[in-house]
Amino acid sequence: MAKETPKKPVVGLDMGGTKILAGVVDETGKILGVAKRPTKAHAGPDEIIERMAKTVLEAVDRSGLKIGDIQAVGVGTPGPLDPDEGIIWHTPNLPGWVNVPLAASLQERLDVPIFIDNDVNMGTLGELALGAAKGTRDAVGIFVGTGIGGGLILDGELRQGFRKNAAEVGHMVILADGPYCGCGKRGCAESVASRTAIERDIRAGLRAGRKSMMAEVLKGEPNERITSGALAQAYRAGDPLVTEVVGRAQYYLGLLVSAIVNLVDLEVVVFGGGVVEALGDDFLAPIRPIAYQYCLNQEGIESVKIVPASLGDNAALLGASVYARRRLAKK
């Protein structure tokens, strides 16, 4: 029998390519104190782990507690990893992170149990326990940003997979022989529907002479990134090029959702990430009919919810806190 879920506060830690965010979280999911600092991705594993530890300690201090009051730290981090051994295998956006014993290194600095998993898994778990998927048992999270990440919950439990690599939905092939993806393959969902793909296609349209509000956004700045906010503004204004490009991405995301639902027959699909946060349900509305159309079983198909995430930047932090409590309860 599993132990009772620990009641003492835990820390959720979200470590990404640009920022480290830590929060002390009580048993109800309330955040008691937070701290944030830049990752400094090129600093190397040792310095970044030191920064992670300092961010945890700062969050604990801001909550009015001491590290001895903390039961455990849950960490969401990018890249393939082994959650049982606490090892990061590699992270594409963090140079030098190859077979890094993150859990052991953090535990040495903080002297509390450390549990790690993929950041998108943590975001999905957060939405299941405390956010848009609360009250459901089977859910998938699809996070649309620079890339596309996913997390899968089955029967209330995070599904990690045989090789700890489940729910890499961004690398399911949606368009055979389509554009090259950052992973080196062609036609992945990430290559046709991420914000990076949307930006690529908008730039191609501008080079072809298409009229768009984006021309002013990028004027004189050929390397300027198109932010999710600028994209949302143009989309809501009915910009023809942006509407066309985003519409194509929505179509492919609808196909992606239908493939996932056909495989595992989920209750809810939660969309998160910068693009979704900026556009909200305006982004999801065209995805739903495509997803429903391509699902095999049409009986009650619209009861499968396709909803925006609700926890924002705190999704992975809160999910990591839930994960830490669950791991402690199983020890």
On whether both 77 and 152 belong to a single domain, the answer is no
On whether both 145 and 285 belong to a single domain, the answer is yes
Q: How confident is the model at residue 17 (pLDDT cuts 50, 70, 90)?
A: confident
- CA 122-277-186 angle, to 5 degrees, is 70
On whether both 143 and 286 belong to a single domain, the answer is yes
Residue 2, pLDDT above cutoff 60: no
pLDDT score of 220 = 59
On whether both 85 and 199 belong to a single domain, the answer is no
Mean pLDDT is lowest, of 26-30, 77-81, 91-95, 101-105, for 91-95
Does any domain span residue 4? no
Does any domain span residue 303? yes
Question: Are 192 and 180 within 8 A, CB to CB?
Answer: no
15: containing domain = 10-125+314-330
**Residue 272, CB half-sphere, CA atoms under 13 Å: how many?**
29
On whether both 298 and 321 belong to a single domain, the answer is no
pLDDT over 70, % of the chain: 97
Q: What is the CA radius of gyration of the chain?
A: 20
On whether both 304 and 319 belong to a single domain, the answer is no
Mean pLDDT is lowest, of 43-57, 207-221, 260-274, for 207-221
On whether both 318 and 270 belong to a single domain, the answer is no
Does any domain span residue 130? no
pTM for this predicted structure: 0.92
Residue 242, helix vs strand vs coil: helix
Closest among 17, 123, 115, 8 to 60, alpha carbons compared: 8
* Domain tally, the chain: 2
On whether both 273 and 296 belong to a single domain, the answer is yes
Residue 66, pLDDT above cutoff 70: yes
Q: How confident is the model at residue 6 (pLDDT cuts 50, 70, 90)?
A: low
On whether both 49 and 160 belong to a single domain, the answer is no
CATH number for the domain spanning 53: value is 3.30.420.40
Does any domain span residue 131? no
pLDDT score of 28 = 95
Q: Chain-wide mean pLDDT for the chain? A: 94
On whether both 151 and 239 belong to a single domain, the answer is yes
Q: What distance in Å separates the CA atoms of residue 182 and residue 191, rounded to the nearest whole number?
A: 7
Does any domain span residue 1? no
Task: Kindly tell me the burial class for residue 32, based on how many C-beta atoms sit within 10 Å of its own C-beta (0-12, 13-18, 19 or more).
Answer: middle
pLDDT digits (tens, 9 = 90+) for 178-189: 999 988 999 999
pLDDT digits (tens, 9 = 90+) for 221-234: 667 788 888 999 99
177-207 as b/e: b if 16+ CB within 10 A: ebeebbeeeebbbbbbbbbbbbbbbbeebbe
On whether both 325 and 300 belong to a single domain, the answer is no
pLDDT score of 222 = 62
On whether both 236 and 164 belong to a single domain, the answer is yes
- What end-to-end distance do the CA atoms of the chain give, in Å? 10
